[in-house]
A = this chain, B = another copy of it.
Amino acid sequence: MKIAIAGLGTVGAETARQLIHHHDQIAQRSGMTMTVTAVSARDANRDRGFPMDGIAFEQDPVALASRDDVDVVVELIGGEDGPALDLIEAALANGKSVVTANKALLAKHGARLSAAAEDAGLALAGEASVAGGIPSLKMLREGLVANRISRISGILNGTCNYILSTMETTGRDFDDVLSEAQALGYAEADPSFDVDGIDAAHKLALLTAIGYGVVPDFDAISITGIRSVSAVDIAAAKNFGYAIRLLAIAENHQGAITASVQPTMVPLSSGLAKVDGPLNAVAIDGEPIGSVIAIGPGAGAGATASAVLADIVDVATGRAAPFFGAKADTLSTASASNTGDICRFYLRLTVYDRPGVLADVTAVLRDHNISVESLLQQGRADEGVNGTVPVVLTTHDTQSPSMLAAIEEIKKLDAVTAEPTVMVISGDAAHHDES
């Protein structure tokens, strides 16, 4: 099996090193001999920890797709269009199977590319695109193939999880921890894709498509990032018995699929609250399985290469399933809809510290039939900014539309000085006590 690797960043170089340095073990496990025959990267001459002897170098990655000495193309360039897409299309057109870690590309073009691969009798594999080293797509697509999936929930972005769990353990604020994460290499110089929830939503689009047999639909996902999560929220959550995690959740309510990525309060005693640092977690609820959760490294060269290599072996041995499990031409179009979920909410307001403010806020909530579970005013104005203080409260079960309407009214109150922060409180995410 002759392999071309496009993109020799940390993951591409690690994939090549593993294929070369551990050639014999991979051959013994898979029954196949794997050879890296060609690569493409920006810089031909950098030492990446493996010998380039006998490996062809192409300046243009797309040229890999037409080489006679390549059976499988591994795309690790990134970007949802551009050379990554050109390469994958050319590879499939030239009869070569494709392995990719490119979640954005698969979320946008996956249904079309998978159909093209299936029509040509080729494989399109992308385990590394979701949850790094955790074999989450394989688990959902193959291990749980016979289940009616009711809920997919996950911590799918290691950068956000590192930031939130560090805020939790240190009490520091978002900007401060983000800077540190950037210095440590856990966050990009431009962190928007991660902290605004885009990356997690790309991954959720793929999990949703596989779990529910629908065409991936990134635009149907309601996305809130973690920039608005403050040290006050983290402390209040802990006070109420919760940790804050950026949860990606896709639920199936009698055929209507709702998908969201948002900071969520999860019980401190739950499995997801223990998922710390740059770890990822994927929990699947379905019938007849009940509930399964897998936790592991969501990023990093080694973990991602592990998933890329697993795909290469599946492709080489002819055991790769269609990317979405079901053939791409059988996927239905998701009927994304907000069904007006009922859940508990957390609300943080910034208000002037003066008499009557709490009465005004609670009156609005009462008028929308929202029952307050607990309310905390933290500190006094002389400790706060410009005479303001944070007020945090949690509600009993509330209809989402009621909550949104109440927040719109609360924002109009004179004493409310900043955009309220609202979070869902999860009572049951990834708790397994019932099984």
Is A239 in contact with chain B by the CB < 8 A criterion? no
Pair B432/A309 contact, Cβ less than 8 Å? no
Is A303 in contact with chain B by the CB < 8 A criterion? yes
Which residue of chain B has its CB nearest to the CB of A320? B319
A271 to B295, CA, bound (A): 10
B contact residues around A22 at 8 Å (CB)? 146, 148
A314 to B320, CA, bound (A): 10
Is A134 in contact with chain B by the CB < 8 A criterion? yes
Pair B309/A133 contact, Cβ less than 8 Å? no
CB distance from A279 to the nearest CB of B (A): 6
Is A90 in contact with chain B by the CB < 8 A criterion? no
Which residue of chain B has its CB nearest to the CB of A141? B29
B contact residues around A307 at 8 Å (CB)? 143
B contact residues around A286 at 8 Å (CB)? 306
Is A31 in contact with chain B by the CB < 8 A criterion? yes
CB distance from A388 to the nearest CB of B (A): 37
Pair A145/B310 contact, Cβ less than 8 Å? yes
Is A197 in contact with chain B by the CB < 8 A criterion? no
Pair B288/A142 contact, Cβ less than 8 Å? no
B contact residues around A301 at 8 Å (CB)? 288
B contact residues around A127 at 8 Å (CB)? 143
Residues of A280-326 whose CB lies within 8 A of B: 286-297, 300-303, 305-307, 309-310, 312-314, 317-322, 325-326
Is A33 in contact with chain B by the CB < 8 A criterion? no
A-B contacts, 26 of them at CB < 8 A, read: A18-B288, A28-B326, A29-B146, A29-B326, A31-B326, A31-B327, A134-B143, A134-B292, A135-B139, A138-B142, A139-B294, A142-B319, A143-B310, A145-B309, A146-B310, A271-B271, A277-B435, A279-B432, A288-B301, A290-B297, A292-B295, A293-B294, A293-B295, A293-B296, A294-B294, A297-B435
A-B pairs, top 4 by smallest CB distance, nearest first, are: A135-B143, A288-B302, A146-B309, A292-B296
Q: Residues of A at under 8 Å CB distance from B?
A: 14, 18, 22, 25-26, 28-31, 127, 133-135, 138-139, 142-148, 213, 269, 271, 274, 276-279, 286-297, 300-303, 305-307, 309-310, 312-314, 317-322, 325-327, 330, 432-433, 435
